[in-house]
Every structure is written in C-alpha cells, then in structure tokens.
Amino acid sequence: MLKSFFLKGANATVSRWVVLLIDVSMVLQLFFLAYLIRFNFILDFENYHFVFQIPVVAGLSIISFLLVGSHKGTVRQTGIKDAVNVFYGATILCGFMVLLALIHREFDIFDRAAAPISVIIIHYLLNVIVLIAGRFIFKQLITRIVTEYKPARNTLIYGAGDSGMLTYATLNNAHNNCNNVIAFIDDDKSKKGKKYNRLPVLPFEKIDKNYIQANKIKEIIVSIHNIKPMELMGIVDQLLPLNVKVKVVPPVEQWIDGDLNVGQLDEVKIEDLLNRNPIRINNPILHKELNEKVVLITGAAGSIGEEIAHQVATYNYKQIILLDQAESDLYNVQQSFLRKHHLNFHVEVADIRNERRMQTIFEKYDIDIVFHAAAYKHVPLMEANPYEAVRVNVFGTRVVMDLAVAHKVDKFIMVSTDKAVNPTNVMGATKRIAEVYANCLNKLGGTKFITTRFGNVLGSNGSVIPLFKKQIAEGGPIQVTHKEITRYFMTISEACSLVLEAGAMGNGGEIYVFDMGESVKIYDLAKKMIHLSGLRFPEDIDIKIIGLRPGEKLYEELLSDKENTIPTYHEKIMIAKVDGEIDDTIMGKIQHLSTLETNDRFEIVSHIKQIIPEYISNNSDFESLDSTAKSNLAVEGVEDEVV
C-alpha cells in the first residue's frame, strides 16, 4: 500500500508548507529531548517553564525557516544546498533563543519564555544533526521505494577526474535515477588500482566484451571536462564494439543554473563526432552592418533561414521580415520569436514566385539587406520536376533580386550550395544559374550581390541524419546509395554564422566558400549511428546499398576546376575567383529560361545546359542530352575538316 502510494506520487512535489510543518514538529520534539539530556532524563521541568517555552520555540523556528527558505527545496532531490539552508535555519533559531536568554538575564524579563543556554546549545546540535540527516534518510527511502520497480542499469563512468566524481554524485542524488555505477574507467597511471567512492578505477584495456557481459553493463557515461570532438570520437570508436549505450556529460556552460542534471546526460549523437567545433563570431563590422537595418529573410521557415533569423535577432537591427510560403512552419518561427521576446519583427506568408506580392512587400518595407535562403534543394525531386526547380531557384530568385535592385537594397546575400560546383543535377544547375544572375546584376552597380556556398548541414529538414534515425527507429535497414559516397557536413549554427560574416565582409560579386572540414563517408556514418543506438550491425540493423539516385554525385566539390580561392581574415571563409568573363547574352538567356512555360522536362533541361555548359548529368535521364551535344560537336568537327 505504501509503495503504491509513493509510486503514484513519485512525480508530485510535497507541499513546502507540509515540509515546514514537519521541520517545526521535529524542532519541538528535539527541544523536549534537549531538556531530557540536560537534566539526566528527569521529567521535572516545572522550574524551567518548559510548557510556556514550547509556543515560543515554535514561533521562532517558523520565522527562522521562512527567512532561509529551507522548506522550499524538494525533499526527494535534497542536496548540499538544502543541507546548508537547514543549517542556517537552525543557527538563526539558536541565535534568537540565546538572545532571549541573555535579555532575560540582563533585564529579568521573558522569565517563562527563556530556556537555559545549556539546553539551547544541546537543542541546536540536535537540530543540525537530525534535521539534515532526516532529509537525506527520507530521500533515500523515497528513492528506494520508487526505483524498486525499475530495473537497475549497471553503468561505467569513463573518467575518474572531477567531472567523473560530479557525475557519480549527480546520479546518486537523482531520485529518478536507475543507473548503478560499478566502476570508473581511467588510464591515468596515478589512479590505477585505487578506489573512489568505494568504486574501482579500471584501465580501458580491462573493459572488453567479457567484462561487459559478466557485469551486465548497459551504459557507459563519458565524463571528461572540456573534451574535444576528436577526443570524444576516439573514445566512442573504442566503446562502440562493446554494444553498450554511450552517453556524454554536456559542457559546463550547458548545465542548468550551474548544476548538472541527470536529464542532461544524453546519448552521444552522431553530430558530436563530426569534429565541428562551435564558431563564436564577435565582429564589430558585423554589428555595424546590421545596426538599425531592415533585414528581409526569405525561406525563413526553413532550417537555414530560421537560424539566420535567430542570429540576426541578437543584433541591434531595426526590423526583421520573416518571409516564407510554408505557413505552419512560419507560424512556429513566429512563436519562437515571441517566446524569446524579440521585437520589431514581421511575418509575411508569401511565395517568391509571385511578382505582385513580392513587389508589395518591397514597397511596404524600406529593406536594407536581403538574406535569400528560399530554394528547392532535394536533388531527386528536382531531377523529376525541373519545371518547379526553375520556377523557384531561378525565376523566384530572379524576382527577389530584381526587386532588390529596383528598391536600392544595399546588400543581397544568397545561400547557395556545393552542388552548384560542376553540377550533375537539375537542383545544382539551377542554383548555379542563380549565382550567375547575381553576378550579372552586381556588375550593374548599386546593390551588392554576395554568394555563399557550403555543403550539407546537420539536422536540417530532409537531411541524411534525421532520415537514418527514422530508419533505425523503424527497425531498418538503413538505405545508403553507394558504399563509397561521401559528403561534407556543417552545423546549422556554424553555417549561418559564416553566412552573416561573409555578408558583412562582402563588397559585391564574391562567391564565398566555407571550410567544411573533412568529408565523411556516409556508409561509416550509418554504422556509427547503429552502434550509438545500442544496436549491432548487421545483426540488429543492416545497411542496404540502393544505388545512386538520379543526379547524385559520389563526391561533392566546393570549387570548380576553373576556380581558385584566396583567403580572407576569417580562417573558415575563402573567396572563390571565377576565371573568364560572363557571356553578355547570358542574362537574356536566364530571363528566357525563368519564364519558360513548357512542361517538357528535356526541353527545360536543354535550356539549362545551354546556360551552364559545365552541367553534365550523372545517373539521370538527361545524360542523353549530353551525348547528343557531344555527337553534334563531333559532326561539326568532321564538317569543318571537309570544308
């Protein structure tokens, strides 16, 4: 019956007033015990007015505990701070009672209310010991009752330093914790063979599959202060073959109010292992660039657009216009801005392909800077629907660019992609056309057009990592297009920080390329994600090779063969220089393509290839267009020779 009561109320918090009532009751009982101890357990208190002192002690204890707020803590989560508060409360109570006794001695008043100082001292010591101990005993009682029905998870803590000790203490103090820590792992020779908190410190060489099975280890928590991504990757690579769940302690700056919480011990994510260190930008030029400016962000409901919006919102802007056609996602962004108390922002549900609607928006706001993140980005879908790719990535972008020029916008920063380099698919080719059109407009003067290129972003809508997670959750298999396929990855926050930085440094006409680090083999990525889920490859989850999708490359590039780079003052941002002049007729060709109304896929792609000659289709129906072009060139060559 008692267990059932505690289980039902395990998540409820005992009323703070009940805690105060219990504390006061304990103080009164201990006051009685103090008298017994002082007078050798003789129950003759008449000469000391014990009965009259009871309400005085009760009143003073209530005041003392209210002053320090010792009743506000959750008993089931009692920690050092709670114990200190109880100590302060007992000390204040003792001070009040001693003061009362001294006043009685000096002025002969409060005769019945003042207790002997010897009793007060004994009472104080009893209060400190019993009230603090009582809280911890009650906490342990509740924890045992509540967690008795939850299977304990035998756990190892990787790291026997200060962070490891703090993690162990946090696990012990958490009322909802089911981790049973049985040992620490540490290769520090000075800790070899020692015991911390009665637990052995073992070198990693002793942690093998036999040890894991013999001790039924379910989890290993990596707890190393300021661990670097590469170091964490090395540790996780060692732990993955053991088929246990691996969790990691977050950085100190992410702790809640400076305290580590069990809920923050999260499983290692694949994002943690891609060696992307956080970027902190504090550029005075960027502050000046956005100061008192009206900023339009297209595609604000997408992963990149939303993050750009949130980062811009940290500066002293004048207005932010959030624009997207996806009204549900845009609503979520709006609510996020409201929760963060951002001011002077406006939400516009609009399609960049609607010239009249976009014209109205540019007339409504005196826009200084445009961050253009609106685009169709999924390669296979755009390969099957080139008309839509052109309408959004070319025509829609052209609409926004033309309006920016007409309304004398200062800067236009376009978010492009590494797939625009030597494109092999419709999506990449249409983004490259947008880059070319931006360069054409930049030569007209006025608005400064700046392009930023980067690869895949971690966790973005439709990206590979969320897809793999879903496939694992559904029991597999994970579908990989090719065993040798690689991709570059960057965090959303990092990418958007660099977009803002590039926008600040740009003077118009530049194509900025970001340092994406090392490329990652997707097949290896899939295997790591399986292991990090606590599953085995291929026994639990297999990987299925399904073949390259239409238009897909094995390897992505950040620079074409005709480009080179020059460094900037930021180590992760480079400028790509394009060799050669742009054909004077290309602007007209882009305008013609963007208004093309045919639904013939091959006719549309044929026009794209005329504008972007380096666009060579790969694993696509449109490869036949490249073959035809080569045949025509060969025939023309023969005719020239005959002539």
The residues annotated with a catalytic role in the active site are 419
Q: Which two tokens stand for residue 471?
A: 């496939």
What span, in angstroms and rounded, lies between the C-alpha atoms of 295 and 344?
A: 11
DSSP string covering 525-553, please?
HHHHHHHHTT--TTTTS-EEE--PPTT--
Burial of 388 (0-12, 13-18, 19+ CB in 10 A): middle
168 membership: H or E segment, kind and range: helix 162-173
Q: Is residue 196 within a helix (H) or strand (E), and if so which, with residue range?
A: strand 195-196
As given in the structure block, the two tokens for residue 243 are 């088929």
Tokens of 213: 């099975």
Sign of CA dihedral 336, 342, 343, 349: negative
Locate the DSSP E strands across 104-163.
Answer: 153-158
**Dihedral-angle region of residue 407 (phi above 0 means left; psi in -120 to 50 means alpha; beta otherwise):** alpha
Integer CA distances (angstroms), 4 to 146, 255, 328, 402, 510, in order:
9, 33, 43, 70, 68
Residue 441 · residue 454 · CB < 8 Å: no
Residue owning tokens 């010897």? 118
Q: Name the residue among 434, 270, 260, 469 with its Cα closest to residue 352.
A: 434
Gap between the Cα atoms of 40 and 125, Å rounded:
17
Strands of the sheet containing 153-158, edge to edge, are: 195-196, 199-202, 179-185, 153-158, 217-222, 245-248, 266-267
45: helix, strand or coil: coil
Strand ranges, E, within 340-380 = 345-349, 369-372
d(CA 348, CA 629): 44
* Residue 260 exposure: Cα atoms within 13 Å on the Cβ side: 22
Burial 74-101 (b: 16+ CB within 10 A, else e): ebbbbbeebbebbbbbbebbbebbbebb
Residue 192 · residue 203 · CB < 8 Å: yes
Cα–Cα distances in angstroms (integers) from residue 460 to residues 259, 311, 325, 464, in the given order: 30, 16, 18, 9
What are the beta bridge partners of residue 259? Answer: 256
DSSP string, 223-265: --TT--HHHHHHHHHHHGGG--EEEEPPPGGGSBTTB--GGG-
Distance CA 238, CA 282 (A): 37
Please write down the HEC assignment for all residues of 488-506.
Answer: CEEEHHHHHHHHHHHHHHC
